[in-house]
């Protein structure tokens, strides 16, 4: 039985996970009567809800006595750390490109990494049945992209397939027959992707994916570089500097067979397996025979660009909705996350009750917060801040992102204006078909925090924005943030409909009648640029005098729904998001109004 290891890489929503579904079905991995969820590889609850892939996952299919290990990768740039790690497990990549959108920023990012490693690409043009498909133009764009990324002549001579992953077919030409299903793709993988390169010597493997299994403990997944491994064998773990982390006995070896992970009696060189039994070994460590002395070099991971402060929830409502509230619990959870996610960096603050968490982007950190609140954690979170660097001359550098915005022509003016306010430089403007324009900018990450919602409002929900880290560049100066102030509750209690109704002319509310509020909590957005303290507990004064007219009915305007991502990007530097399993509240960092004014005065004089 021959073996192939491939990864499927593409931009978000170009159809990677759906394609894997069809490959599994047509290879016979499912029984004919087996009930299988749509996008079976998206196993995480948040992945299913949002329709995006967050964690890289492996599966294995058998086709005509050949085993093909497939890795499904995330499409969002924020989860690029996941993608970079898995590329050292594979020997070829399927680059999936939407026939209408063409290659997008994340495609460019991952393809660049894959080409540097010398991987052989297969290009699959997906969704060719779309009404706005522009197949030949997209093929030319892919070739130009490969050339711009310094692909070798061999890599530029890539084979191309056309088809529809959703309908379960791929063919050698755009008007090929759907009757063959995925057979052309299977045949091309076996013909074009080389068998795994195997080195001589005793067992060695670099850890690529780490997970915690409730029955087996820590499970490390990777591709075996040399030798073989059996259960009960003694192995040691080497860190990147060559020092020994621990020695352990292998308790179980697991390998994917379809979507199920099954125990096997021996893992051989070239195969992708998961090993259980260690207590300290982690991602990028080398798991090897005791005779091995040198660690396998791991691919360097790009640095984090955004950081947030996670702190113990100290609001008056702390501990009423979650059961994990102490700094020790939060610290343990963050350290556990950092072990398996190499794109995260955790630092403790001086007071030990707050942690600075740095990552690739707001979405990566927002997913971490969402996972924590579902597990019962309560915490306060600051506004995302960019991670600055200093060059050799001491000049401050900030992260710059390449931003691609597809927008209707009528809305392009407001997009250009808003991006220029955020210190962005326009690089390219070109038509992208159907009265739409594609705008390409280089913009500081600082200016993009919170822009997604504003962009959708400005363009009536029609714009599509994609971002990708580009480089570090000199600091571009001050960027004006949120222009409106906030409405702050001045007492603790339950909000009253009559009070909210009377405050409607002050600005839109974020709370409903009956919600618990406390002093210093943000209850709405002020129409002006200053903060205003308001009383949302004030009920109507009742008397025994009957009035001639009927009382006015209280009809409230629906409040603004603040999701976690929207809250994180909306708050100012002196505000926090209080996250609990049931609620997301906004508050001032300093709840006491007198202390808040004193701190404001001292910051202005400093």
Q: What is the pLDDT of residues 454-464, one digit of tens each?
A: 888 888 888 88
pLDDT of the residue at 35: 40
Is 592 annotated to bind ligand? no
The model's pLDDT over 504-535, given as tens digits with 9 standing for 90+, comes to: 999 999 999 999 999 999 999 999 989 999 99
Give the mean model confidence (pLDDT) for residues 225-241. Answer: 91
The model's pLDDT over 406-415, given as tens digits with 9 standing for 90+, comes to: 888 899 999 9
Q: Is the pLDDT higher at 372 or at 483? A: 372
> What distance lies between CA 88 and its chain's CA centroid?
20
SS3 readout for 227-296: CEECCCCEEEEECCCCCEEEEEECCEEEEEEECEEEECCCEECCCEEEEECCCCCCCCCEEECCCCCCCC
Give the mean model confidence (pLDDT) for residues 571-594. Answer: 92
β-partners of residue 222 are 273
Query: Which token pair is 556?
Result: 């409230």
The model's pLDDT over 4-27, given as tens digits with 9 standing for 90+, comes to: 999 888 776 667 677 877 887 777
β-partners of residue 253 are 275
d(CA 255, CA 205): 14
d(CA 117, CA 113): 7
Handedness of CA 289, 204, 29, 20 (dihedral sign): positive
Is 126 annotated to bind ligand? yes
pLDDT of the residue at 81: 58
pLDDT of the residue at 280: 85
CATH classification number, 2-192, choose in 3.30.830.10, 2.30.40.10, 3.30.70.980, 3.40.50.300:
3.40.50.300
At residue 372, the 3 state secondary structure works out as helix
Cα→Cα distances 439→133, 140, 409, 428, 592, Å: 20, 19, 10, 6, 45
CATH class of domain segment(s) 204-288:
mainly beta
pLDDT of the residue at 303: 75
Can you give the residue ranges of every domain in the chain? 2-192, 204-288, 390-474
Is 127 annotated to bind ligand? yes
SS3 readout for 336-350: HHHHHCCCCEEEECC
Is 102 annotated to bind ligand? no
The model's pLDDT over 356-402, given as tens digits with 9 standing for 90+, comes to: 999 877 778 888 899 899 999 999 999 888 888 888 888 889 989 88
Dihedral class, residue 483 (left if φ above 0, else alpha if ψ from -120 to 50, else beta): alpha
Give the mean model confidence (pLDDT) for residues 311-318. Answer: 92
Is 319 annotated to bind ligand? no
Give the mean model confidence (pLDDT) for residues 240-244. Answer: 87
Is 53 annotated to bind ligand? no
pLDDT of the residue at 43: 44
Any alpha helices (H) in 171-216, and if so which ranges? 183-192
pLDDT of the residue at 260: 74
Residue 233's pLDDT band (cuts 50, 70, 90)? very high
Is 502 annotated to bind ligand? no
pLDDT of the residue at 129: 86
- Strand ranges inside 409-555, DSSP E: 425-431, 436-444, 464-474, 486-489, 493-494, 516-517, 521-525, 532-534
Residue 313's pLDDT band (cuts 50, 70, 90)? very high
Is 16 annotated to bind ligand? yes
At residue 165, the 3 state secondary structure works out as coil
Residue 39 has pLDDT above 50, yes or no: no
Tell me the average pLDDT of the chain.
Answer: 84
Share of the chain above pLDDT 90, in %: 31
Read off the DSSP letter of residue 87. G
pLDDT of the residue at 548: 54
pLDDT of the residue at 36: 38
Third-level CATH fold of 390-474: Alpha-Beta Plaits (3.30.70)
Residue 37 has pLDDT above 50, yes or no: no
| Segment holding 434, helix H or strand E | none
Query: Which token pair is 298?
Result: 């791991």
pLDDT of the residue at 160: 93
d(CA 231, CA 266): 7
The model's pLDDT over 464-481, given as tens digits with 9 standing for 90+, comes to: 887 778 888 998 888 877
């Amino acid at each position: 039985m021959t073996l192939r290891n491939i990864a499927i890489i593409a931009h978000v929503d170009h159809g990677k996970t759906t394609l894997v579904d069809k490959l599994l079905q047509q290879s016979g991995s499912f029984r004919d009567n087996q009930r299988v969820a749509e996008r079976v590889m998206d196993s995480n609850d948040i992945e299913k809800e949002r329709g995006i892939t967050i964690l890289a996952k492996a599966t294995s299919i058998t086709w005509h006595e050949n085993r093909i290990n497939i890795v499904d990768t995330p499409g969002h740039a924020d989860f690029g750390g996941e993608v970079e790690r898995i590329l050292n497990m594979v020997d070829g990549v399927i680059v999936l490109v939407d026939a209408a959108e063409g290659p997008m920023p994340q495609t460019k990012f991952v393809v660049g990494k894959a080409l540097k490693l010398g991987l052989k690409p297969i290009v699959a043009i997906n969704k060719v049945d779309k009404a706005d498909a522009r197949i030949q133009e997209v093929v030319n764009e892919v070739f130009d992209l490969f050339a711009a990324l310094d692909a070798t002549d061999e890599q530029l001579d890539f084979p191309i397939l056309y088809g529809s992953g959703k309908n379960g077919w791929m063919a050698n030409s755009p008007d090929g027959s759907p009757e063959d299903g995925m057979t052309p793709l299977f045949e091309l993988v076996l013909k074009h992707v080389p068998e795994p390169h195997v080195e001589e010597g005793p067992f060695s493997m670099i850890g690529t994916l780490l997970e915690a299994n409730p029955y087996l403990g820590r499970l490390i997944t990777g591709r075996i570089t040399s030798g073989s491994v059996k259960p009960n064998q003694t192995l040691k773990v080497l860190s990147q500097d060559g020092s020994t982390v621990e020695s352990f006995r292998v308790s179980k070896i697991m390998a994917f067979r379809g979507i199920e992970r099954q125990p096997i009696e021996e893992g051989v060189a070239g195969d992708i397996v998961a090993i259980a039994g260690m207590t300290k070994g982690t991602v990028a460590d080398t798991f090897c025979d005791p005779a091995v002395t040198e660690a396998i070099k791991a691919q360097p991971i790009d640095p984090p660009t955004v950081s947030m402060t996670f702190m113990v929830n100290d609001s008056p409502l702390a501990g009423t909705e979650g059961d994990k509230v102490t700094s020790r619990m939060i610290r343990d959870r963050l350290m556990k996350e950092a072990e398996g996610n190499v794109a995260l960096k955790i630092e403790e603050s001086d007071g030990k009750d707050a942690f600075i968490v740095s990552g690739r982007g707001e979405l990566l950190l927002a997913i971490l917060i969402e996972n924590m609140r579902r597990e019962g954690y309560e915490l306060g979170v600051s506004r995302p801040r960019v991670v600055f660097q200093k060059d050799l001359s001491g000049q401050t550098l900030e992260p710059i992102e390449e931003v691609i915005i597809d927008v209707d022509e009528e809305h392009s003016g407001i997009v250009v204006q808003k991006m220029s306010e955020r210190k962005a430089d326009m690089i390219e403007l070109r038509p992208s078909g159907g009265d739409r324009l594609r705008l390409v900018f280089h913009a500081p990450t600082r200016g993009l925090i919170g822009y997604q919602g504003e962009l959708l409002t400005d363009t009536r929900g029609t714009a599509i924005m994609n971002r990708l880290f580009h480089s570090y560049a000199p600091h571009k100066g001050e960027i004006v943030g949120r222009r409106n102030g906030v409405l702050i509750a001045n007492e603790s209690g339950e909000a009253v409909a009559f009070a909210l109704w009377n405050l409607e002319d002050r600005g839109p509310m974020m709370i409903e009648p009956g919600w618990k509020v406390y002093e210093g909590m943000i209850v709405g957005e002020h129409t002006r640029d200053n903060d205003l303290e308001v009383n949302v507990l004030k009920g109507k004064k009742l008397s025994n005098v009957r009035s001639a007219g009927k009382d006015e009915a209280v009809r409230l305007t629906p409040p603004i729904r603040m999701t976690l991502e929207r809250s994180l990007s909306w708050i100012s530097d002196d505000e926090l998001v209080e996250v609990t399993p049931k609620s997301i509240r906004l508050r001032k960092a300093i709840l006491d109004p007198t202390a808040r004014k004193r701190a404001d005065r001292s910051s202005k004089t400093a």
